[in-house]
Structure 1
Amino acid sequence: MSTAPAGTAADAHDAPRPAPPARVDGLSIARERRARRRRLRSLPALVVEALRLCWSARRRDLVLVFGVQLLGALLLGVQVLVGREALTRVFSGGAGGAGAGTGGDLLPLVGGPLLALGGLSVVAGLAGAVRGQRMRLLSEAVQRAVWRRVVDTTTTVPLDRFDDPEFYDRLQRVSTNAVSRPVGVAQGLVSILGGAVGAVGLVVALWAIDPLLLPLLLLAGVPVFLVSRRGGRLEFDFAVAQSGPYRVRSYLRSALTGRREAKEVRAYGLAAPLGARYERLLQEYEDALTRHVGRRMRLSLLSQVLTAASVVGTVAVLLWLVDSGRLSLADAGAAGAAAPLLASRLQSLAGGVGTVLEAGLFLDDLRGFLRLGTPAGRGAQGPAALEPLVELEVDGVGYRYPQSAGPALSGVSLRVRRGEVVALVGENGSGKTTLSKLLAGLLPPGEGTIRWNGTDVAALDPAAVREHVAVVFQDFVQWQFSAHDNIAVGRPDRPDEAGAVPAAAVQAGADALLRRLPGGYRTLLSAELAGGVDLSLGQWQRVALARAFYRGAGLVILDEPTAALDARAEAELFAGIRELMSGRTVVLVSHRFSSVREADRIVVLREGRVDDTGTHEELLARGGLYAELYTLQAQAYLDEGTARAGRAPTGRHAAHR
């Protein structure tokens, strides 16, 4: 958030007065001019970069698009020359040929140019159809390549980027506009090429048109209308067939770029497997699109043949009208060729220039966004493999979220040793979840040091650290996958061992409920998908716990793991937590003090700092914040129990007795 300099905004509240518009506007204009010059200077490089991306995505289609556009533009001039040849023969025959004035002699005289004109029209129309459909394939391939780079960026940038509004603004602009801009550059250059070459080959010639030609021109458009109507139906059917797969692809794309999923994508290393699933669905879509485009191209060919036949028929009628003296040759030539062709070429040229200039702005934004995911911004690249955790030391750590008024953590120090159960407690906003993210290697400390077996984690590869960590987040992800896959994402690179997933579900108390589903572990856990079901929040929490058990990591971080469980299920889980986590280190975040009593150590946080540390008995004996909160919570349960046991319901409760 920007702050006003002293003596400007602040003073304006005390003594309102008009701002100096001339100076402010002059500065704004100067900045805009400088920015525009920078963009124009970088435009050639951006155009080259866009073309390079198009070339790498689908080079054959890129060459084909430019080739057929150039061919179509050159054919316009050839068509005009062939038309002139036909007119020349008409005039020559009419001036010196015996009997040339009769329709029977004139048509054979111009038959050759007429057939050539028809053939050229077919070729030009087919070139346009090929250009449009191949451009569509090129567009999909380029957008796929750009999205791959965007996903690489969103799955590797530091997690705290997802708390930065500016990052979201850039991501939104890239997602909405910039992804398609490299193809826009290619389309703009194609339009410029076609417009420039086509305009050079045409001569402006406008003459009056006889009203009798109007029905003929309308009749020539009937085949185009009929074929276009059929093409529209094909397009609609294709869109309907792809609507379901599109939603699945959109979900995977949002999962790879979303804030809520970003933690688990990093913690469980899901970027590669989810990316592969997304790529597979995209490939299926491109295969279907290729078949669809083939049908459209065949339909376009039929349209062009019918249009060419209509053009030949129209020209034949025009010549008959000329031969019969009802229409001048100049009027027919001008109406049939020069005016509409030249106008369309000039419009294409102007539109192409505008497209390239506009795309340049978004391409610059895209390039800046993709730089966020370069190796220099991904943290240290230490050893790819680490030794299992022996001790995790937190020394004077602090952290502040972007846009936050104060630090979430400040001067936090603690040690977590192998096999220990350490609980983090405190009031809301005390920093418990933030500290758990730092321990999991998901956030870098803003100050202080975190050491893994004595080595500063800043010198280690974050992915290597996360390989040894399993996390159950308070806002865990409810993946729209099968029950089996919802657990297996805990370790996507783990071999699909028989019984491993159900074994993790048994540990989390989820096996029985998952086996009762209509399809057992293969049931889709989403009511939005056909054949899928949804679970209660408590059931989902058991699935999330199974996900952490399946990962088999040495450090397990549980952030409010029983928040959605009932009292019995919570008691059962914590009664067996040492057995379940045997040999593992557990960091437990909870606001329920009854669930942390058996922890080896309890760390009490207050306003982002460590307020106290000890066992349950030690903390109660000291009478600090922990004792106060524990007493309040215990008293609330006692009061509730007393009310239920000995007090008669009153008021609106009594009415329902």
Structure 2
Amino acid sequence: MSADIDPLDPLALRAAARSERKSVGRLRTLVGSSLALVWSSGRRVLLALVAVQLVAAAAMAGQVLAVERVLSGILAAQADPGAEVMDKVLTPVLALAALSALAAAAGAVQVQLQRLLGESVGRTMWSKVLGVATGVGLRYFESSEFYNRLNRVQTSALVRPYQVTQGLLSMASALAASIGLGITLYLISPLLLPLVVVAGIPLLITSGRESRLEFDFSVQQTPAIRLRSYFTMLQTGRDEAKEVRAFGLAGWLAGRFDGLYAAYLRDLRAHVLRRGLLSLVGQLGAAVVLGGTLIALVALIDHGDIGVAEAGAAIVAIRLLATQVQGLFRGVQSIFESGLFLDDLRQFLALGEAAIDEDTGTEAPERFAHLRAEDVRFRYPGADRDALKGVDVELRAGEVVALVGENGSGKTTLAKLLAGLYQPDAGHVLWDEQDVSSFRPSSLRERIAVVFQDFVRYALPATDNIALGRVDEPADPAKVRAAAAAAGAETMLDRLPNGFDTVLSRLFAGGTDLSGGQWQRVALARSFYRDAPLVILDEPSASLDPRAEHELFDTLRDALRARTALFISHRFSTVRGADRIYVLHEGEIVEQGTHDELVARDGRYAELYRLQTQLQVKGEPTRPPSPSSTQLRG
């Protein structure tokens, strides 16, 4: 597949797949890359599997020779009235039985070795795919086509490298057996051998079209399969279970799921029919040639060119050889069919390689005196307008800066740019006059702690949940406890059945659930444990009750320990003590200043503030909280 093919364009993928042609060079490339992967995943198992397949091939060829010896012994005994049949056939019969047992045992061992090797390859491929999924830029996760590619790789391409190698091993086994059987058949009659080989050509001709049909079907069905998986999750997810029951959604969800599955089965039936017809054509062609081979054998017997014993052995050899030749061509088909998926996989893994290549630059400084965003613009993939339009903000070391605005105003997007999770389409983010684009991205993110509104609730012990804030070093129990204390979570966690060792989920035995507010404190503790110079808090008190919210922000400056904090909030009571407040509206900074300055300006901030504070009680507004509050002030 060409290097300039868009890895997220399904039409480009299908066109590239159709343009691929079977060739010895391409076969060599597919075999080489897949074999290298399997070799690195489990070389000992691979060598053992090859050895077993060679034993099985040798046993198969030996069975043909044993059959010929048995028939020859029987005929010799019949020609000599004084001879004992058993004396003539005992040894070849025992040999035939032993070789049959050996072939059966080799087949059983082969199945288990293939299973072990398949899991080894699966582990390697999962590591590669998950590395891409966690390494690519956040923008990829705004693209549905990236999810389609990820899903297709997970469901199809992950097993294809092993299937290519399995096809190669099957080819090697079939080739070894074919050579042995071919020599035997050639010794009986040189005419029969090429006829048997020709019988596999119809299968090879039809296999190319089958391969492309399979890949096209996979690309076409990926969005529907993803949607079906989503409806499965809605019906089985723990978090979704309560709402499904509260709103009586079970029947509706089941209907949508069944409809999606019915559509898939309808398409699958048509696909299977097309593949089946192609396979039938190939098999009929092979059967015609094989029938001609048997007719030729009968003619040779009729003309006395071969004897009865040789004819019996030839029939066995023809049948076995025809099977092996077909297996040989099926192996070729398997390799080329998997090759289309491997091209898909290779393009996906290239995203991860690009992410590694992009993680270059100078190390981000340990601290900064000021951080600025200058004329920053950003647009999400597929969006028709900018999420940020020429935004300018500044954070000085040790300050607490707030972002406020209505939903969709761009607050979280701006936070992600300042956190180094997105790169601006225009403008600059500067640390002490140095553009962060010159820093190694991962080193920049190491200097920033982020707690998003939809933070992850890890089904792990409390200690791990907090220590995940810095995984580049072993968890320090004392630092974990200090971070929990700073977030007001220490006492709560100590009261759990196993204290900080309690698993924070009922998904696993011995675990327990936390309330939303308790989880928010754990997430805050995780950010404090990171001990980064910049802390970004997205709605840090969204799940807290008013008392807990007051306690949190009353101690927030002490918890930050002179670190710079940027926090986003819809609650204006939590931002009043910030050193500076930025008001965003439709992706633009429309106001900035302290709480008192913004209220006195009587602009958008003052309007939103009044909407929150002037609650109607019997038609009379309540007195708003005094603007002289010193919350968050140093």
TM-score, length-scaled by structure 1: 0.70
Match of 1:379 in 2: 358
Map 1:31-110 to 2 at 5 A.
Answer: 35-37=19-21, 42-96=26-80, 98-100=81-83, 105-110=84-89
Match of 2:562 in 1: 583
The Cα of 1:71 is off from its aligned counterpart by 3.1
Name the amino acid aligned to 2:40: S
CA distance, structure 2, for counterparts of residue 613 and residue 454 of structure 1:
22
Cα deviation digits, residues 436-464 of structure 1 (max 9, x gap): 11111111111111011221111101111
Q: Which runs of 5+ in 1 are unaligned?
A: 1-26, 206-253, 255-328, 646-657
The answer as to 2:142 corresponding to 1:163 is yes
The Cα of 1:424 is off from its aligned counterpart by 0.3
Name the amino acid aligned to 1:151: L
CA distance, structure 2, for counterparts of residue 201 and residue 42 of structure 1:
28
Aligned to 1:443, the other structure's residue is in SS state coil
Match of 2:332 in 1: 353
Relative to structure 1, the CA distance from residue 379 to residue 457 in structure 2 (aligned partners, 3 Å threshold; closer, same or farther) is farther
Match of 2:395 in 1: 416
CA distance, structure 1, for counterparts of residue 417 and residue 542 of structure 2:
21
Name the amino acid aligned to 2:68: R
Does the Cα contact within 8 Å between 2:462 and 2:501 map onto a contact in 1?
Answer: yes
Match of 2:466 in 1: 487
What stretches of structure 1 move > 4 A for 4+ residues in a row?
30-34, 38-43, 199-205, 329-340, 375-378, 640-645
Name the amino acid aligned to 2:605: Y
Does the Cα contact within 8 Å between 1:560 and 1:591 map onto a contact in 2?
Answer: yes
Match of 2:281 in 1: none
CA distance, structure 2, for counterparts of residue 39 and residue 89 of structure 1:
47
CA distance, structure 2, for counterparts of residue 107 and residue 499 of structure 1:
85
Match of 2:370 in 1: 391
Map 1:509-524 to 2 at 5 A.
Answer: 509-524=488-503
Does the Cα contact within 8 Å between 2:534 and 2:565 map onto a contact in 1?
Answer: yes
The Cα of 1:403 is off from its aligned counterpart by 1.6
CA distance, structure 2, for counterparts of residue 640 and residue 447 of structure 1:
50
Name the amino acid aligned to 1:578: R
Match of 2:522 in 1: 543
Number of residues paired by the alignment? 491
Match of 2:257 in 1: none
Cα deviation digits, residues 71-94 of structure 1 (max 9, x gap): 322332221112211221222232
The Cα of 1:44 is off from its aligned counterpart by 3.2
Name the amino acid aligned to 1:81: L
CA distance, structure 2, for counterparts of residue 554 and residue 373 of structure 1:
28
Kindly, what percent of the aligned residue pairs are identical? 49
The answer as to 2:123 corresponding to 1:144 is yes
Match of 1:127 in 2: 106
CA distance, structure 2, for counterparts of residue 33 and residue 63 of structure 1:
32
CA distance, structure 1, for counterparts of residue 588 and residue 357 of structure 2:
28
Relative to structure 1, the CA distance from residue 418 to residue 83 in structure 2 (aligned partners, 3 Å threshold; closer, same or farther) is same
Aligned to 1:499, the other structure's residue is in SS state helix
Aligned to 1:605, the other structure's residue is in SS state strand
The Cα of 1:384 is off from its aligned counterpart by 3.7
Cα deviation digits, residues 266-295 of structure 1 (max 9, x gap): xxxxxxxxxxxxxxxxxxxxxxxxxxxxxx
Question: Which residue, 345, 360, 376 being the options, matches 1:366?
Answer: 345
**Range moving further from structure 2, 550-559 or 117-126:** 117-126
CA distance, structure 1, for counterparts of residue 577 and residue 131 of structure 2:
42
CA distance, structure 2, for counterparts of residue 146 and residue 642 of structure 1:
65
Does the Cα contact within 8 Å between 1:194 and 1:348 map onto a contact in 2?
Answer: no
CA distance, structure 2, for counterparts of residue 48 and residue 600 of structure 1:
62
Match of 2:229 in 1: none
The answer as to 2:487 corresponding to 1:504 is no
Relative to structure 1, the CA distance from residue 487 to residue 59 in structure 2 (aligned partners, 3 Å threshold; closer, same or farther) is same
Name the amino acid aligned to 2:39: W
Map 1:198-237 to 2 at 5 A.
Answer: 198-199=177-178, 201-202=180-181
Map 1:135-534 to 2 at 5 A.
Answer: 135-199=114-178, 201-202=180-181, 337=316, 341-342=320-321, 344-375=323-354, 379-384=358-363, 386-534=365-513
Name the amino acid aligned to 1:540: W
Name the amino acid aligned to 1:632: L
**Range moving further from structure 2, 533-542 or 113-122:** 113-122
Relative to structure 1, the CA distance from residue 387 to residue 507 in structure 2 (aligned partners, 3 Å threshold; closer, same or farther) is closer
Name the amino acid aligned to 2:420: G
Cα deviation digits, residues 456-496 of structure 1 (max 9, x gap): 11110111111111111100000010111111111123443
**Range moving further from structure 2, 376-385 or 597-606:** 376-385
CA distance, structure 1, for counterparts of residue 350 and residue 109 of structure 2:
36
Match of 2:4 in 1: none
The Cα of 1:346 is off from its aligned counterpart by 4.4
Name the amino acid aligned to 1:68: V
CA distance, structure 2, for counterparts of residue 378 and residue 547 of structure 1:
29
The Cα of 1:195 is off from its aligned counterpart by 3.1
Relative to structure 1, the CA distance from residue 430 to residue 467 in structure 2 (aligned partners, 3 Å threshold; closer, same or farther) is same
TM-score, length-scaled by structure 2: 0.72
CA distance, structure 1, for counterparts of residue 73 and residue 33 of structure 2:
51
Aligned to 2:430, the other structure's residue is in SS state strand
The Cα of 1:342 is off from its aligned counterpart by 4.5
CA distance, structure 2, for counterparts of residue 51 and residue 39 of structure 1:
18
CA distance, structure 2, for counterparts of residue 440 and residue 198 of structure 1:
61
Aligned to 1:134, the other structure's residue is in SS state helix
The Cα of 1:545 is off from its aligned counterpart by 0.8
The answer as to 2:90 corresponding to 1:111 is yes
Question: Which residue, 620, 624, 628 being the options, matches 2:603?
Answer: 624
The Cα of 1:41 is off from its aligned counterpart by 6.5
